[in-house]
Copies of this chain bind each other. A is one copy, B any other.
Amino acid sequence: MLKYQQVAAEIEQYINQHDLKQGNKLPVLEQLMSQYAVSKSTITKALELLERKGVIFQLRGSGIFVRRHNRPGYMSLFSTQGFKSNLGDRVLTSDVLDVSVTKPDVTVAQNLGIDVTDDVYRVERVRFVDGEVFCYEESYYVKAIVPYLNREIVADSIFDYVQGALGVTIGFSDMYMQVGRLTETEAGYLGLQTDDPTLRIETIFHLSNGKPFDYSRITYHYEHSQFVVQANGPYM
């Protein structure tokens, strides 16, 4: 783990353990520097990371302050999307409906930037948060990048496996979201009625070299899913 990531993690841990509230002030830069025994640019980088994550905000001439949103029950949109495994104390489980190798249809192939003759893993899951139905997910993995999957891996975290055992790094993702109505099969999986409202998110995950390796379609249970997104300022 990089030094600035380590420092960021420690500061975040400190904030959580001491249950600091929105607006609470952290030690000044110079003190953090000596406290963690790193240079100014390293501590700055760590703080920038935490700022992006929505954990702190910095105010020139004033100090470094804790940032918090005050709505329990809302999950970070990104934590449910592979990134930042921070689900708090909620328990995430899965019913694995399918893990198989197939050929992609044109839509899937196009989203993954591959040919319809290339192999993909198809994974189908219903996911639960604290025992409540949360979403229905259908996802496709490029087999050339993810050569092996099984029910055990899929029941846990695919991303941890991919980054751990396969040694590839996930770079970025494009999420496409829209609201619609449930189909009959989706409604069955989610325990809802056909034509009930739903949020659909399609996501294309790319490796850090830019290659797409996972295309997934998630259909959320509209009563059991509410999200928070902490955005940072007008960039320019």
Which A residues form the contact surface with B (CB < 8 A)? 1, 5, 8-9, 22-23, 49, 52-54, 57, 59, 62, 65, 67, 69, 71, 74, 77-78, 81-84, 163, 169-181, 196-199, 206, 208-210, 220, 222, 225-236
Contacts and interface: CB of A to CB of B under 8 A. Distances in A.
Contacts of A222: 178-180, 197
A234 B170 contact: yes
Contacts of A206: 57
A174 B83 contact: no
Nearest to A68: B174
Contacts of A179: 179, 197-199, 220, 222, 225
Given A197-B198, A235-B52, A230 B172 contact: yes
B174 A210 contact: no
Main secondary structure of the interface of A (DSSP, over half): mixed
Contacts of A78: 231
17 contacts: A1-B236, A23-B210, A67-B172, A82-B234, A170-B233, A170-B234, A171-B233, A172-B232, A173-B231, A174-B228, A175-B228, A175-B231, A176-B226, A176-B227, A178-B225, A179-B198, A208-B233
B49 A231 contact: no
A82 B233 CA distance: 9
Contacts of A5: 235-236
A59 B137 CA distance: 30
Nearest to A110: B70
A78 B235 CA distance: 11
| 9 closest residue pairs by CB, A with B | A197-B197, A179-B222, A178-B226, A175-B229, A5-B236, A69-B174, A179-B199, A173-B231, A177-B227
Contact of A197 (B69, B174, B181, B210): B181
Contacts of A52: 52, 235
A181 B192 CA distance: 14
A163 B233 CA distance: 12
B57 A210 contact: yes
B65 A210 contact: yes
Contacts of A65: 210
A209 B62 CA distance: 9
